Structure 1
Amino acid sequence: MRKMLAAAVSSVLSVVTQKPANRVLVASCNYSNDATFEIKKCDLYRLEEGAPVTTVLTREDGLKYYRMMQNICRMELKADQLKQKFIRGFCHLCDGQEACCVGLEAGLNPTDHVIASCQARFMCTRGLSVPSILAELTGRRGGCVEGEGGSMHMYANNFYGGNGTVGAQGLLGAAYNMTAVWNLPCIFICENNRYGMGISVERAAANTDYYKRGSFIPGLKVDGMDVLCVREATEVAADYCRSGKGPILMELLTYHYHGHSMSHPGISYRTREEVQNLRSKSHPIMLLKDKMVNNKLASIEELKEIDVEVRKEIDAAAQFAITDPEPPLEKLSHHIYSTNPPFEIRDANQWIRFKSVS
């Protein structure tokens, strides 16, 4: 028996013992270390060369991407449940766009700075734990900003989350004109999920080629549902910036299955059939799963085990997010200014005052 197991190239999936006969059947799976895939060609604007049309995915990276994307997806679905009772502030969901943040992170360096929108889930790829994210959404002490920021103010190492002015992340990074004039190494990302706040892009814009909107800035239009396509395009964009050529714009064509926010459930401006059709045919997690299984980078059973583990982790994180204590009232005035001297703020009761901490 030891010799049989030692001879197996990879892990044993199942052992079936037939009783009373003393025979053992061993089913093993020989995984491939890597596989080559064709990816969709990017549309180019003011560029001579784009991302390659083939790429190599290793088994290690594939499993990492799959777990990360499932983690983000399950967290989004859990947040959708929590917003019915426990999330009292904003909650902008983006399930369906998992390939964008995971692919972007795979093509960047950890030391690169990221400024995101209120819907981006870069905080997951930048080191924030799911419990700290969900606890921030529910306004608890264990949140990544100690419950003071909510959905639109989350921060991590080299990550600067959403802000109170929706859509201002481009200006906070550097405006288009400034980056071109000063030749700054800045990648502008447009996650085009095909709908704004209640209206389709076709009804809102005469020119829906957002990768050309930089005018004097080169652009790439990328399949945002394919994590490998996003990864390769991001590496090209990052190399372009690092080589001193200035800014570049990337449009990631993607889709989100939930509505824009709590006030836009997602079926008031599109049909259920449209959402279900895209979910069944082009979900980024499903696309990656098919690639890995069909090319022997993983087995269905192995990926199912990851699914089970992720669900347990998300359930535990949600439990923490609804049981962790809320911040004390004394912290209401903390961290409003970074350098100003302390000041007092009055509560609804004029005799109660809280002192600020910078």
Structure 2
Amino acid sequence: MAELLGRVDGASKGLGGSMHLYKKDHNFYGGIGIVGTHVPLGAGIGLAHKYRKDGHVSFTLYGDGAANQGQAYNMAALWDLPVVFTIENNQFGMGTSARRASKNTEFYTRGDYIPGVWVDGMDALAVKTATAFAKQHALQHGPIILEMDTYRYHGHSISDPGSTYRTRNEIQGIRRARDPIEHVRNLLQEHSFADSNELKRLENDIKKHVTEEVEEAKRSPPPPLCYLWKFVYKKGWGAKLRNVELGRGFIQLPS
């Protein structure tokens, strides 16, 4: 939460924001600002897992827009890398529907020499089952593609209202028919795992927890000005920026 607010206590010290969340000690290697370029990086992580023989799998997630780039499939298949290429197909890129941007919108078939599976991405149990299957397949046979068929209710970003290229009736219709949270809620009640009062208590507790995390994140200060240079060079201040030695001349670093 602190990273999303650009605060120094964030996972990337407030320097990454939503596009560069990163937490290596949790095996989360973050997002990349350039669309689709993290796909070959995910294959590289898969190569590291295979080299180390650690029994781990690289899950590389990207959207329907980035699926048109298709990097790294060949190398992953050629070397039988333990990679699960996971396409989050939410039907729209930045204001353009998948049908207008992709000749073949059955993304799970696009691997050619890599097997693919279509998954109802709005069904939590389907996602759990498919993910477990894909992990075992990747460990035994190499890469696999999962197309998670889902839907986004809101715009792609703050500059996208999300309602200029589709109708509000379409959005509400999907929400009523396929909302994943409501689906889980109904399953829990239908099979007597929880009643409505218990689920309401859980929901209130979670909202309270999120509110507390937001307030804690707000108390964290922004990164200091010196961070503009601190993580640019490998070590020390001896490097030069446009032929001017840092810390001298007209470039003054804060203490």
TM bin, normalised by shorter chain, reads 0.7 to 0.9
Tell me if 1:308 matches 2:204. yes
Aligned pair partner of 2:35 in 166, 188, 194: 166
Aligned pair partner of 2:95 in 198, 202, 214: 198
Match of 1:208 in 2: 105
Using the size of structure 1 for normalisation, the TM-score is 0.58
Query: Distance between the aligned counterparts of 2:86 and 2:236, measured in 1?
Result: 35
Unpaired runs of 5+ residues, structure 1, are: 1-133
Query: Distance between the aligned counterparts of 1:338 and 1:236, measured in 2?
Result: 41
Query: Distance between the aligned counterparts of 1:266 and 1:323, measured in 2?
Result: 32
Query: In structure 2, what residue type is equivalent to 1:136?
Result: E
Contact 1:188 1:249 in 2 (8 A): yes
Contact 1:332 1:354 in 2 (8 A): no
Equivalent residues in 2 for 1:85-100 (5 A)? none
Aligned pair partner of 1:267 in 146, 153, 163: 163
Query: Distance between the aligned counterparts of 1:339 and 1:173, measured in 2?
Result: 27
Tell me if 1:352 matches 2:252. yes
Query: Distance between the aligned counterparts of 1:180 and 1:354, measured in 2?
Result: 50
Match of 1:122 in 2: none
Note closer, same or farther for the CA distance 1:341–1:141 as it changes in structure 2 (3 Å cut): closer
Contact 2:233 2:239 in 1 (8 A): no
Match of 2:53 in 1: none
Match of 2:49 in 1: none
Using the size of structure 2 for normalisation, the TM-score is 0.81
Note closer, same or farther for the CA distance 1:342–1:317 as it changes in structure 2 (3 Å cut): farther
Query: Distance between the aligned counterparts of 1:333 and 1:325, measured in 2?
Result: 18
Query: Distance between the aligned counterparts of 2:221 and 2:78, measured in 1?
Result: 49
Larger CA Rg, structure 1 vs 2: 1
Contact 2:90 2:150 in 1 (8 A): yes
Between the aligned residues of both structures, percent identity stands at 43
Unpaired runs of 5+ residues, structure 2, are: 44-71
Contact 1:333 1:354 in 2 (8 A): no
Query: In structure 1, what residue type is equivalent to 2:205?
Result: E
1:101-152 per-residue CA deviation (whole Å, 9 max, x = no partner) reads: xxxxxxxxxxxxxxxxxxxxxxxxxxxxxxxxx2111111121111111111
Note closer, same or farther for the CA distance 1:290–1:272 as it changes in structure 2 (3 Å cut): same
Query: In structure 1, what residue type is equivalent to 2:20?
Result: H
1:51-92 per-residue CA deviation (whole Å, 9 max, x = no partner) reads: xxxxxxxxxxxxxxxxxxxxxxxxxxxxxxxxxxxxxxxxxx
| Cα root mean square deviation, aligned | 2.0
What is the deviation of 1:339?
Answer: 6.2
Query: Distance between the aligned counterparts of 2:194 and 2:83, measured in 1?
Result: 36
Match of 2:50 in 1: none
Query: In structure 2, what residue type is equivalent to 1:352?
Result: Q
Query: Distance between the aligned counterparts of 2:77 and 2:221, measured in 1?
Result: 47
What is the deviation of 1:337?
Answer: 4.1
What is the deviation of 1:306?
Answer: 0.8
What is the deviation of 1:351?
Answer: 4.5
Tell me if 1:148 matches 2:15. yes
Query: Distance between the aligned counterparts of 2:6 and 2:175, measured in 1?
Result: 31
Structure of higher RCO (CA pairs closer than 8 Å, 6+ residues apart): 1
Query: Distance between the aligned counterparts of 1:212 and 1:151, measured in 2?
Result: 30
Query: Distance between the aligned counterparts of 2:90 and 2:194, measured in 1?
Result: 29
Note closer, same or farther for the CA distance 1:342–1:231 as it changes in structure 2 (3 Å cut): farther
Match of 2:182 in 1: 286
Aligned pair partner of 1:329 in 212, 225, 228: 225
Match of 2:57 in 1: none
Match of 2:46 in 1: none
Query: Distance between the aligned counterparts of 2:230 and 2:73, measured in 1?
Result: 34
Equivalent residues in 2 for 1:23-62 (5 A)? none
**Secondary structure in structure 1 of the residue aligned to 2:86:** strand
Higher strand content, 1 or 2 = 1
